[in-house]
Amino acid sequence: MTKEIIENDPYKLAGVDIDQGNKLIEQIKNDVASTQNANVLGNIGGFAGMYKLGNEFKNPILVACTDGVGTKVALAQQYQNLKGIGQDLVAMCVNDLIVCGAKPLFFLDYYASSKLNVDEASNVIKGITKACIDSGCALLGGETAEMPGHYVDNNFDLAGFSVGCVEEEKIIKNKHVNKNDVLIGIGSSGPHSNGYSLIRKIIDKTKIDRSELKKIIDQVLKPTLLYPKLILSLISEFNIKSISHITGGGLTENLPRSIPSDLCAEINIKSWDFPFIFKWLQENGEINDDNMFRVFNCGIGMVLVVKETQASDITKKITSMNFENFIIGKITEKQNNKSVIYK
């Protein structure tokens, strides 16, 4: 390539630097390779990623999820704390996969910015690769896009896509959920990746000193927990009737997706202590209980529906794998046409 072409690159003058994109690929290729296994065919930089199912599954059903991390990205950029955002992205996808019993196989990411900051993007992708390893899946590929004029002020956004697999006869469905089954709540690390438009509004309007602000920011930017290895271990040992990933919509909107329409999840709100960050958000945001349970996970990241006779052994297993957990309620007949009630 001649010096004249480099100095008069019209695409670069328009705001898109191809060389920076190539530099990023070079910087992350070893991290990406560290996630891959014998089922991954080809190398980074191809037009598409390829993955061989192999002989692990007899009647495989592929399961796919896509998600982002919402305006948590904006908060992380504002306070220059991006170390957990990559894990957030992976978690929001693989935690959805595991609800039906699927083992995560591979993940793809999309990183779009106004102007590519190679070091910033590299740090985010390093978080993605570590989360892929912790979830047992390969980072199969991704896309990095510079979009000057669409994104402004060096902002960026993320999206993720994940594919998993489950034996057809082992798909977790809600049809086996019965009255008097027990609800086990598995603890969250904080708000995870939901409710951040409201969180940002509360932080902006609340007058707090610098030390308290740092404490709050550290709490709300904790990365979303990764549940796949825990859940896969549980379903290999116990009869897990149904699972709900508590994301946007909180317990109120997500639990009905995991139980039959003629039943109700009765939640004992005194069965676990609200973590500090949710108490702070509720107080400073002047949010009533109904809206708290409809916006935030309130300290519960996953809910399992299990037989009462197995509940004790399951909670012991979850504790042994270093996850907080609580028996938070039970399944009852539908009451007043509500799928979730709080007592």
Q: pLDDT value at position 320?
A: 98
Examine the pLDDT at 3 and tell me if it is beyond 70.
Answer: no
pLDDT in tens, 78-125: 999 998 999 999 999 999 999 999 999 999 999 999 899 888 999 999
Q: What is the pLDDT of residues 35-69, one digit of tens each?
A: 999 999 977 777 888 999 988 899 999 999 999 99
* 142-193 confidence digits (pLDDT tens): 999 999 888 888 889 999 999 999 999 999 999 999 999 999 999 999 999 9
Tally the C-alpha atoms within 13 A of residue 145's C-alpha that lie toward its C-beta. Answer: 14
pLDDT of 5 over the 80 cut? no
- Averaged pLDDT, 290-317: 97
Distance between CA atoms of residues 200 and 161, nearest Å? 26
Question: Taking a C-beta distance cutoff of 8 angstroms, is the pair 306, 235 a contact?
Answer: no
pLDDT of 1 > 70? The answer is no
Per-residue model confidence (pLDDT) at position 32: 87
- For residue 7, pLDDT over 70 is answered with no
Domains observed in the chain: 3-170 (3.30.1330.10), 174-342 (3.90.650.10)
pLDDT band at 259 (very low <50, low <70, confident <90, very high): very high
- In whole angstroms, what is the distance from residue 221 CA to residue 207 CA? 19
Work out the average pLDDT over 312-335.
96
Q: What one-letter code names the amino acid at 77?
A: Q
- Asked if residue 168 lies in contact with residue 61, where contact means CB atoms within 8 angstroms, the answer is yes
Residues, the chain: 343
Task: Return the pLDDT at 155.
Answer: 87
> CA-CA distances (angstroms) from residue 219 to 191, 212, 242?
9, 11, 30
Find the mean pLDDT for residues 203-226: 94
**Is the Cβ–Cβ distance between 233 and 317 less than 8 Å?**
yes
> Two tokens at 105?
């196989």
The closest alpha carbon to 109, from 74, 152, 147, 138, belongs to 138
Long-range contacts of the stretch 20-29 (C-beta < 8 A, 24+): 20/116, 20/118, 20/146, 21/116, 21/144, 21/146, 23/118, 24/116, 24/118, 24/121, 24/122, 24/125, 24/144, 27/118, 27/122, 28/122, 28/125, 28/126, 28/129
Residue-level pLDDT at 43: 76
In 3D space, the residue among 325, 90, 45, 332 whose CA is nearest the CA of residue 193 turns out to be: 90
- Residue 6: the pLDDT is 57
Mean pLDDT of 200-209: 93
Element (H, E) at 200: helix 196-205
What backbone torsions phi and psi does residue 330 show, to the nearest 5 degrees? -150, 170
What is the distance between the alpha carbons of residues 329 and 154, in angstroms, rounded to a whole number?
A: 46
Average pLDDT, the chain: 93
Question: Which residues are CB-neighbours of 11 under 8 A, at least 6 positions away?
Answer: 17, 18
| Helix (H) and strand (E) counts in the chain | 13, 12
Q: Is the pLDDT of residue 292 over 90?
A: yes
8 Å CB contact between 176 and 320:
no
Nearest to 88 by CA among 98, 107, 73, 74: 73
Pairing mode, strands 325-333 and 182-187: antiparallel
